[in-house]
Every structure is written in structure tokens, then in C-alpha cells.
Amino acid sequence: MSVNKEIKRITTNTIQEMKVRGEKISMLTAYDYSMATIVDDAGTDIILVGDSASNVMAGHETTLPITLDQMIYHASSVVRAAKRALVVVDLPFGSYQGNSKEALNSAIRIMKEAGAHAVKIEGGVEIAESVSRILTAGIPVMGHLGLTPQSIYKFGTYTVRAKHEAEAQKLREDALKLQELGCFGIVLEKIPAKLAKEVSESLQIPTIGIGAGQHCDGQVLVIHDMLGINKGFKPRFLRQYSNLYDIMHDAIKNYNTDVKSNSFPNEKEQY
């Protein structure tokens, strides 16, 4: 007799319960059906459809060029694959800044057209109106503080943020504001570990770190980085779990050799 074991979906409530229990939260990016299937099946708690797709999927230097339509395309592919993970989707640059009505419309499109479970938005008090408006529609929002890649031309560098007290204090205030507004979690990117620990302990909602040390409630990495698909990208915060660039390179090279030597296909590989 076979027993079908139901897969329990991770929700924003689940993430909050993990924070309370002290259970760490795992989060990885994915941008397509095949990769998301693997990420989900491996037991990852949250899949982020990041605007980093602009870099790793489209080859742009920054995250700024990716459009809302493109994010919806990537997100819908990931949602079809995810049976367990909570799927969070970045609102791309230009889809929410300075216009809360546009922010709401962008978030609604992501939820309706992609079937996403939540959206992520960069910034603090300056985007409070947009966050509030999205939340009033019943759409879960994850915040993002510290290094905010969509503001790269404002800061001019990808170096560690909030090293000085003035910026650190603003980050503390922004984190509390996002919690007060109703965000279910906050990504803290590339800030001092001591500050990330302080902020994480001051909040009731979970923090997800990337380059923010071990005291965040969870961690996130770009899947192409942690698998070693992006050759040569090795920041201090990255632990590379595989070297798929070389593995795939060698496999493709062997395939090309076999085709040119007429050893593929052989008699067993034809009809």
C-alpha cells in the first residue's frame, strides 16, 4: 500500500515560527523551472527570484535594466517548480520608487501573473508609503537594507555599508520602521556582523543575511555564485559549494570532441 506524503508549504507564518524557535532559515535564488526544482527539492525554505537575474541570466553589469515583465517571466517559471518553498520576488528598479500606486500595481502583477507568494523591496523610510500600500492589498512584503544594488549609482560602490555610526543608526531605524509597517522579514546585505546581530536581536521578524555574518536568522546566496557557475566571482562572504563552471565546461568540451570524432552517437545510441 503506497502512502502519498503531503508536502507542507512554507509560508510567511512558518518563517516567523522559525525565528521564534531559533531555527535558521535557508534562502537561495532561482530564475528558471529546472534550477528551482532542484533548489526546492533540496529543502530550501525560501526561493528568491532576485533582480540579480539581470546579472547572471542576462549579463548586465547591474540589476537596473531588468524589467517587471522579465521578472514576472522568471517568477512564473520558478513558481511552477516550487512545491515547498516560499517564493519571494524582487520588485525591479523603476517599478515602485517614488510612486506608491505604481508600487502596488507592480506587486499585484507579480502576484497575479506569476503566482508569487511575496515581494521584496529595497529601502527604508523613503519607501514606507509604497510598502504600506502593498501590504494593504494583502501582499506580504520582505524588506532589504544595507547594500541595496538598485542604488549602486547613488553609492558608487559595492563595499560594506553602515560602517559609520550615522548610516548604522539609519539602518536600525529603517529596520524598526519596516517591522512596524508589517514586513514579514528583512534582508541585510553586506553590513558589519556586529550591527546585523544587534538589528536581528532587536526585531521580532526574521533577518536574512548576505555578507552580514552568522547572527542573522537566515542566509541567502545567489545560486550561480554558490555553485561556482560564475567564474572568478569570489567575495569574502561567499562559500562556494561546487565548481560547476569547470564540470560543465569539461562535459561540453568532451561532447564537442565526441561529435567531431564521430564517436557520438554510437550504434547503441541510434534507432
* Residue 90: φ, ψ to 5°: -70, 135
Q: Which residues are catalytic?
A: 189
Cα separation, 90 vs 141, in Å, equals 10
In DSSP terms, 48 is beta-bridged to: 29, 88
Q: For residue range 184-226, list pLDDT tens digits in order.
A: 999 999 999 999 999 999 999 999 999 999 999 999 999 999 9
pLDDT at 5: 53
pLDDT at 207: 98
End-to-end CA distance of the chain: 38
CB-based burial of residue 220 (10 Å sphere; 0-12 exposed, 13-18 middle, 19+ buried)? buried
Nearest partner of 68 among 43, 101, 99, 105, judged by Cα = 105
Residue numbers in the chain where pLDDT is lower than 70: 1-6, 152-157
pLDDT at 1: 43
